[in-house]
Chain A
Amino acid sequence: MIPVLKIMHVSPPESKLKSPDGKKRFGAKLLDILGPGGVISSADELIAYDSDALTGYRIKPEFVVLPENTGQVSRIMRLCYEENVPYVPRGAGTGLSGGALPAEKGVVISLSRMNKILEVDIPNERVVVEPGVVNLWVTNAVSSYGYYYAPDPSSQIVCTIGGNVAENSGGVHCLKYGVTTNHVLGVEMVLPDGEVIETGGKALDRPGYDITGLLVGSEGLLGIVTKITLRIIRKPESVKTLFASFDRVEDAGASVSGITARGVIPAGMEIMDNLCIRSVEEAVGAGYPTDAGSILLVELDGPVAEVEAHMPIVEEVLRKNNAIQIKVARDAKERELFWKGRKNAFPAMGRISSDYYVQDGVIPRSKLAEVLGNIGKLSEKYGLRVANVFHAGDGNLHPLVLYDSAKEGEPEKAHELAGKILEVCVDSGGSITGEHGVGHDKKRFLSLMFDENDLDTMNLVRCSFDSKGLCNPGKVFPTPRTCVEPGMKPYRENPIQKSGLGEMY
């Protein structure tokens, strides 16, 4: 029998920022690298960086730095590595899982000044950008040539490509065109010890491991990207959008798998339930019927003949699933209005509830009706309303748990209910997050999906990149894991053992 190494928990290395003296010296070194305009250290300015869009968690960083090029990012990270200072990369701060929550006694590395589109190569269908470039800018840069950048998170007018890479962001058109990872072909990145590497690139099939693929969606734990090569695609010849209303949200759910079962893959399929419809209608007047139990938005795109052939199939499925009303957008303006409702679902929620908690679970499409029923039951049990708005085609749910933070115990109840919803998702064969990431907020749920072996394997990846655990520490993984890998032999020392980071027992 071969003894197996177990993960050993050792304390992270002592940060130099813990002593006032150390902090002062560290600050001086940052100024050396970036100059006074690139370092923020005053208490009132730091407040702007103490959370991302998930404002329930707040930690004030010691410094925020604003590098302007790869060399500066590399020098900052090398400094942090030498001085054992933890750091967190940050884009626009629109994340909803606390992925950019600062580390205690740490540094926030904001990429907002690295926001140039470096190259637009239309004949080869590539765009090269810096990480601080806003998602929508990419499409804007290529649309006059008839191209666009497909991943379109709802926050695309503000969120950055760097953040999209970290979270592997999705959007309403992912059903047909894939998520960020399907459109990122290569990156330049800085490893936690300051080394600059390139993976992938404009040409396909680079030999070696797919480091790019591993990096996308790694939530900033493996390094910081400083340059990203994107694939752009042709705009479709035609687009048609419709919505259908139903009495029951389950019927909308059944329509979704009914449509794909008929061989039609729409560009997007989105569901909203009655609570959502009402708040959205009040806010933007998208023309949704407020008495409907739910509505389903369907967008078809592609060659004219394909869209025309698929439209009747979609309508037939909708009617078979008891659609009350089917409304096809007459023109681009009406189409935009239909989508405006969907895209404003989150902000509109403020009209019917003082607070809400956004959940992000994924389920197999075919289980939509069943899972929505279970969420309804949970909502009743906890006595809290749950509004549903989601990327139905992908099975990516966004239940909004509504609560009132002024009422004692309600925030905790909402939090617990949101967790139970994730359990329902995983039990149905799904995932705890489809696009927002695990971050700080959901790491307690990661073990619902992955067992010790799965998590240990992910830790092997982490340790290959960041043996000190300084890069966005404390995120994603449920317990502090250090770089002691499960080894195979008792008599041969593991490289990580040798470096003194762990022991076998």
Chain B
Amino acid sequence: MPDSKIVTRLTEIVGQRNTLTRQDEIGAYQPEGARPKAVLFPANIEQVSEVLRFAASESLSVIPAGSGTKLNLGNITEGADIVLSTKNLNRIIEHGASDLVATAECGTLLSEFQSRLREQNQFLPVDPPHLLSGATLGGIIASNDSGPLRLGYGTMRELLIGLKVVRADGTVFKGGSKVVKNVAGYDLPKLFVGSLGTLGIIAEATFRLYPIPESSRTCLVSFDNLDNSHESVMSLLKSDLVISSLEHLSPALASALGERAGIDVKGNSYTLAVRVMNVEKAVRDQMKTILDLCSKAGGSGVMVEGEKEEKLWEEIREFTSRLSGPGGTVARANVLITDVPGVFRLLEGFPERSGIEVYSSARAGNGVVAVSMDGEREALVSSLKELRIFSEERGGSLVIWAADSNVKKRVGVWGNIGTSLGIMKRIKRNFDPENILNPGRLV
């Protein structure tokens, strides 16, 4: 079918107002420079289904998107005939406050979802980056993106209990349910968390929620060296404290964040940001214990609360995009808790050896290290490769979240997926035999 007819048909399905076709309009919706024939904003799940049915019949590749904050995530796309944005699927369908569950369409902004839940003093405890620039529920599920709160609450994997998905052939199905405990049939929601829109377009999702804790406080504790800060991490984890977030900031990041959040942080030192959310007295008691434990290892701390605390966590959440420029490289090293110092030591050497700028923060209780890098391409490539070897040799992984396409090609986004790659490919083939959904991005 000629392009003009394809565009006409797509426009018929979603309506003129919800279709972009002109080059100047498409602007922000061009995954890695690919030029889609059309960007569509369907108004409801039926339209999504119809678009996919048509795309499948014409073998048109479809890139699912929300606001577009993760449009470049994954391997370089093998095709982008249509960008399908779920931005208009943004209704909050149900908030069962007494059951601590809520259902929303997946184009709903996380920020909007949170303000609605806050009315009942509840929240969805995820804090991935891009909160203010438009992260949607669907995009967070599809990428399994997460932030500092995951220590206390987990990722979308632990919070998503039900979903409605449009399969590549347009079939609409649901998985899971609206109750937290449900073991009927396969746990399909899990399969879709982190699947990067390659198995279907998530249209609607149900989450388990948590009450907003009565009180919250954070302490920032600086140390003279990495050994001491890591020793404190281990003693905090071994204690019976209930910590919501525990970030281990590299010296460069600690200084930069201190400046941005207006907090007096000791220069050039490894720093822990420890957050406790609980009833007021428990917060107070635990803060004292945390400071005691840390000072035993030579740390000195400041307490942060109120607006400053919010600002600090916003900066930690968003540092990967704020501190490296638009073309900056963002990666996550997923290693064991005890390998975090090794990652830091490796990163420490990069600026000196190859002149790149590196900021990093470890979700210290999870072994997930967020890294942003900026600098000359060759240096970035060799640094990322070294970091990958280090992580994989210790049973972990290194995933590139953002990088220029040349760096991606040379380093590889995912690294070694391992022995389950075969079964992943079979699942992809069965769900999407025409390979139209986000082709090539994941497996």
Contact residues of A with B, CB < 8 Å?
A: 2, 4, 121, 123-125, 146, 167-168, 170, 174, 178-179, 181-182, 191, 195-199, 201-211, 213-214, 216-218, 234-237, 257, 260-261, 263-265, 302-306, 308-310, 362-366, 391, 394-396, 429-438, 442, 446, 449-451, 453-458, 460-465, 476, 485-489, 492, 494-495
Contacts and interface: CB of A to CB of B under 8 A. Distances in A.
A487 B436 CA distance: 13
B423 A203 contact: no
Contacts of B430: 460-461, 463-464, 485
Contact of B424 (A204, A208, A449): A208
Contacts of A494: 433
B305 interface: no
Contacts of B190: 181, 210, 213-214, 216
Interface in B283-301: 284-286
Contact of B185 (A391, A463, A465, A476): A476
Contacts of B239: 234
Contacts of A210: 157, 190-191, 193-195
Nearest to B101: A364
Interface stretch (B33-41, B129-137, B167-175): B167-175
A2 B186 contact: no
Interface stretch (B82-90, B313-321, B335-343, B374-382): B335-343
Nearest to B285: A305
A265 B183 contact: no
B424 A263 contact: no
Contacts of A451: 173
Interface string B208-227: 00111110000000000000
Interface stretch (B13-21, B263-271, B410-418): B410-418
B191 A461 contact: yes
Given A214-B186, A265-B210, A309-B281, A204 B179 contact: no
Contacts of A365: 98-100
B191 A486 contact: no
Contact of A257 (B57, B98, B180, B240): B98
Contacts of B99: 257, 364-366, 395
9 contacts: A199-B420, A208-B421, A304-B282, A364-B101, A365-B100, A446-B184, A457-B188, A458-B188, A495-B429
Range for the number of chain B residues in contact with chain A: 35 or more
Contacts of A257: 98-99
Interface in B130-174: 144, 154, 157-158, 165, 167-169, 171-174
A209 B397 contact: no
A208 B184 CA distance: 24
A2 B187 CA distance: 29
A260 B180 contact: no
A166 to B, nearest CB: 10
Contacts of A486: 169, 171
Contacts of B399: 205, 207
A216, A362, A364, A460: most-surrounded residue (chain B CB, <10 A): A460
A306 B244 CA distance: 14
A140 to B, nearest CB: 19
B230 to A, nearest CB: 11
A431 B334 contact: no
A302 B285 CA distance: 13
A327 B55 CA distance: 64
A302 B242 CA distance: 7
B417 A197 contact: no
Interface in B61-101: 96-101
Given A214-B191, A303-B242, A486-B171, A391 B181 contact: yes
B191 A433 contact: no
Nearest to B198: A209
A431 B181 contact: yes
Given A124-B336, A197-B420, A391-B181, A203 B395 contact: yes
A358 to B, nearest CB: 15
B183 A434 contact: yes
B292 to A, nearest CB: 15
Contact of B422 (A125, A197, A457, A492): A197
Interface string B357-378: 0000000001110000000000
Contacts of A395: 99, 179-181
Nearest to A477: B185
Contacts of A197: 418-420, 422-423
Contact of A182 (B154, B214, B334, B443): B154
B76 to A, nearest CB: 16
Nearest to A166: B183
Given A202-B336, A457-B173, A362 B179 contact: yes
A208 B442 contact: yes
Contacts of B157: 210, 213
B202 interface: no
B286 A303 contact: yes
B302 interface: no
Contacts of A435: 181, 183
Contact of B184 (A236, A302, A309, A432): A432
Interface string B370-403: 0000000000000000000001001111010000
Contacts of A310: 279
B419 to A, nearest CB: 4
Contacts of B368: 204-205
A201 B183 CA distance: 23
Nearest to A309: B279
B182 A433 contact: yes
Closest 6 CB pairs of A and B: A213-B190, A263-B211, A431-B182, A305-B282, A203-B396, A237-B240
B278 A167 contact: no
A209 B169 CA distance: 20
A420 to B, nearest CB: 17
A261 B211 CA distance: 8
A457 B433 contact: no
Given A178-B158, A201-B395, A430-B179, A217 B187 contact: yes
Nearest to A180: B183
B121 interface: yes
Indicate the member of B286, B420, B442 with the most A CB atoms within 10 Å. B420
A268 to B, nearest CB: 13
B186 to A, nearest CB: 5
A373 B396 CA distance: 52
A124 B337 contact: yes
Nearest to A302: B242
B282 A429 contact: no
B443 to A, nearest CB: 6
A191 B423 contact: yes
B443 A209 contact: yes
Given A204-B367, A214-B190, A449-B185, 19 more contacts: A2-B169, A168-B183, A181-B190, A237-B240, A257-B98, A265-B210, A305-B278, A305-B285, A306-B282, A364-B99, A366-B96, A366-B99, A394-B181, A430-B182, A449-B177, A460-B427, A461-B186, A461-B188, A465-B423
Contacts of A457: 165, 167, 171, 173, 175, 188, 431
Contacts of B433: 485, 487-488, 492, 494-495
Contacts of A168: 183, 187
A214 B135 CA distance: 26
B172 A453 contact: yes
Contact of A362 (B168, B182, B426): B182
A491 B416 CA distance: 36
A208 B397 CA distance: 11
A211 B418 CA distance: 12
A201 to B, nearest CB: 6
Contacts of A495: 429, 433
Nearest to A489: B57
Q: Which of A217, A436, A437, A465 lies at the interface centre, i.e. has the most chain B CB atoms within 10 A of its CB?
A: A217
A263 B121 contact: yes
A438 B185 contact: yes
Contacts of B367: 124, 203-204
A108 B188 CA distance: 27
